[in-house]
Amino acid sequence: MILPSVVDAIGNTPLVELSRLTAHLGLDGRILAKLDYLNPGFSKKDRAAKVIIETALADGTLAPGQTVVELTSGNMGTGLAIVCGVLGHPFVAVMSAGNSVERARMMRALGAEVVIVPQAPGGVAGQVSGADLALVEARAQEITTQRDAFRADQFGHPGNPIAHEVGTAPEIWAQSNGAVTSFCDFAGSGGTLGGAARYFAQQGVRSYAVEPAGAQAIAGDRTDHPDHPIQGGGYMMADLAHLRDVPLAGHLSVSGDEAKSHTRLLARFEGIFGGYSSGANLCAATALLRGPDRGGCIAIVICDSGLKYLSTDLWEI
């Protein structure tokens, strides 16, 4: 089948059983990995980018040829760069200097204008805090006003969770033949978790939020360690719009070291080259199989590609 554009290649990614890893770790149960790093922009955020832009064009909030602006850690920006480029919209990505350089280079290669915002005082390269994100948000708002642009607003636009409620989760359910008992996901904007949890709740599947240890704002727990290396989330935002009234079975925390080690396990035993948040999801899934979901079938998302972290310490092996 020949597709009309690369935008039509977004979604319908493979679901792979991590049987080698579960055997290596001695786990009682199954882990299924949704390979969203195989999307055109190498991340799950391609789905939300597509739905947000298509919805905005359909309802008239985005005019033909209008500039699109969004704050991003790099993945949503990459997805928007692809979708906007194909549909004829200039795109401005606003991101923190704390994010990996590969992401900015990829967005520029795809035709985006990338605005880098310096980190807050005391910020650490490779670690983006809530304070850093607040500075990026302020700059994004400023540029949106200056250019009379459309703000994609991944933290607020309903197209973000809808992309996963009608895409990611139903795909997992169908591909697993209804075998999934639990789903867990590292929370950034909350779009994947919120949308998937709404769908899975109708199937009797439990959903869990994953956060960095010491930055557990959604869980209402420890928030004394904002300087974690898991890019794309863990911003210590307790009130995420996409998680309001979402049925969650619980919360799981993962340290930066645990995320790193499990990302490397994915590559070594399963040949899956994911990023930090993919390792966090795997670590959380193993905790479920060792605890409340022993003997169950856990679904996770491989959120983005390890190629986006070559300048970080993730692959200093």
Range of the domain at 104: 45-151
The strand pair at 182-186 and 206-212 is best described as parallel
For 113, the 3-state DSSP assignment is strand
* Model confidence, pTM: 0.94
What are the pLDDT digits (tens) for 21-70? 999 999 999 999 999 999 999 999 999 999 999 999 999 999 999 999 99
Other residues' Cβ atoms within 10 Å of the Cβ of residue 294: 11
Q: What is the pLDDT of residue 225?
A: 79
* 103 plus 213 within the same structural domain: no
pLDDT value at residue 230: 87
The closest alpha carbon to 196, from 242, 149, 152, belongs to: 242
1 in a structural domain: no
The strand pairing partners of 207, in sequence order, are 183
280/9 Cα distance (integer angstroms)? 26
In a domain, 34, yes or no: yes
Q: Quote the CA–CA distance of 275 and 256 in Å, as a whole number.
A: 12
Report the CATH number that the domain containing residue 139 is assigned in CATH. 3.40.50.1100
184 and 128 part of one domain: no
163 and 280 part of one domain: yes
Angle, in degrees to the nearest 10, between helices 256-270 and 276-290: 90
Q: Say what the pLDDT of residue 266 is.
A: 98
Please report whether residue 28 resides in a domain. Answer: yes
Residue 309, sorted as left (phi over 0), alpha (psi -120 to 50) or beta, turns out to be alpha
Are both 75 and 180 inside the same structural domain? no
pLDDT digits (tens, 9 = 90+) for 7-17: 999 999 999 99
Which domain-ending residue is among 100, 126, 151?
Answer: 151
**Residue ending a domain, choose from 151, 174, 203:** 151
Q: Are residues 180 and 49 in the same domain?
A: no
pLDDT average per 10 residues of sequence, the chain (317 residues): 97 98 98 98 98 98 98 92 98 91 92 94 75 90 97 96 98 98 96 98 98 91 83 84 96 96 98 97 98 97 95 87
**Does residue 110 sit in the same domain as residue 205?**
no
- Total domain count for the chain? 2
Q: Give me the amino acid identity at 203.
A: Q
Please identify every residue annotated as catalytic: 45, 277
Q: Which residues pair with 151 in a beta bridge?
A: 69
Other Cβ atoms less than 10 A from the Cβ of 10: the count is 25
What does the pLDDT read at residue 130?
Answer: 74
